[in-house]
């Protein structure tokens, strides 16, 4: 699927998901999303005064985990309905804006940290990495995670979750909302087609990131990557 098709699919998926996004995150990930977000925040080692960009912020769930650390947080999401609900539910969540992660509407070297959850499978990895590199200050860090295709010795269990549980949830959700049904039925196919995690390390290094790291979480259901922008990055 090309970039335009992925954008359209993502907007369709998350427009319908927006009103129930906070609770669906828990149910659809069997409450593992809380662990993944805590891991991301701990690995980021956020300090007071840092300027943080949250790409694909949804309704601002990650901002709840950052609150109290004294950071300035800006959330960005492609889905206007997500941003609108986020502003209604999280009055203290900082700035939330509607925009494309491959066309970030901020100047060069304006953020200390870029975080993201569930974004890479909807993007061109190179385009995303280039924009992140551009808006990060020298020495700034990017940390992100997303679903990955079932691989390794736990692949049968992972595949059962992705291709079984999510589709079952879609069938159940269909009795409540056609939009939710579409989300749960479409997501497994997007995960199956995506190879973002195979290209991410090389792409980050090619865009001037060093100290690139990787951690497989929950047996491979998601994979997290991080890197540090070199002071000498182009």
What is the CATH superfamily name and number for domain 3-229?
Answer: Vaccinia Virus protein VP39 (3.40.50.150)
What is the dihedral angle through the alpha carbons of 116, 13, 215, 102, rounded to the nearest 10 degrees?
A: -40
pLDDT of residue 233: 45
Question: Where exactly are the structural domains of the chain?
Answer: 3-229
Q: Region 196-211: what's the mean pLDDT?
A: 96
User: How many angstroms separate the Cα of 69 from the Cα of each of 21, 65, 145, 172, 204?
Assistant: 24, 9, 21, 39, 27
pLDDT of residue 188: 76
Q: Which residue has the higher pLDDT, 182 or 3?
A: 182
Contacts of 17 (CB under 8 A, 6+ apart): 24, 179, 180, 183
Q: Tell me the pTM.
A: 0.86
Is the pLDDT at 149 greater than 50, yes or no?
yes
Beta-bridge partners for 36: none
pLDDT digits (tens, 9 = 90+) for 103-121: 999 999 999 999 999 999 9
Tokens at 130, concatenated: 């280039």
């Amino acid at each position: 699927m090309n970039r335009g098709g992925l954008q359209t699919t993502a907007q369709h998926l998350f427009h319908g998901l927006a009103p129930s996004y906070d609770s669906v995150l828990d149910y659809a990930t069997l409450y593992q999303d809380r662990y993944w977000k805590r891991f991301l925040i701990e690995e980021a080692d956020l300090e007071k005064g840092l300027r943080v960009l949250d790409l694909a912020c949804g309704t601002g769930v990650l901002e709840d985990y950052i609150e109290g650390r004294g950071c300035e947080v800006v959330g960005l999401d492609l889905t206007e309905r997500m941003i609108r609900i986020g502003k209604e539910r999280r009055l203290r969540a900082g700035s939330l804006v509607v925009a494309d992660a491959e066309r970030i509407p901020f100047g060069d070297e304006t953020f200390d940290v870029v975080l993201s959850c569930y974004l890479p499978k909807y993007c061109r990895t190179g385009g995303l990495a280039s924009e992140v590199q551009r808006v990060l200050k020298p020495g700034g860090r990017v940390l992100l995670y997303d679903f990955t295709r079932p691989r390794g010795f736990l692949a049968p269990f992972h595949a059962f979750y992705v291709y079984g549980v999510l589709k079952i949830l879609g069938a159940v959700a269909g009795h409540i909302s056609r939009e939710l049904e579409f989300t749960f039925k479409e997501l497994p196919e997007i995960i199956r087609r995506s190879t973002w995690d195979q290209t991410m390390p090389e792409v980050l290094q090619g865009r001037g990131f060093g100290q690139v790291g990787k951690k497989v979480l929950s047996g491979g259901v998601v994979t997290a990557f991080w890197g540090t922008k070199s002071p000498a990055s182009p």
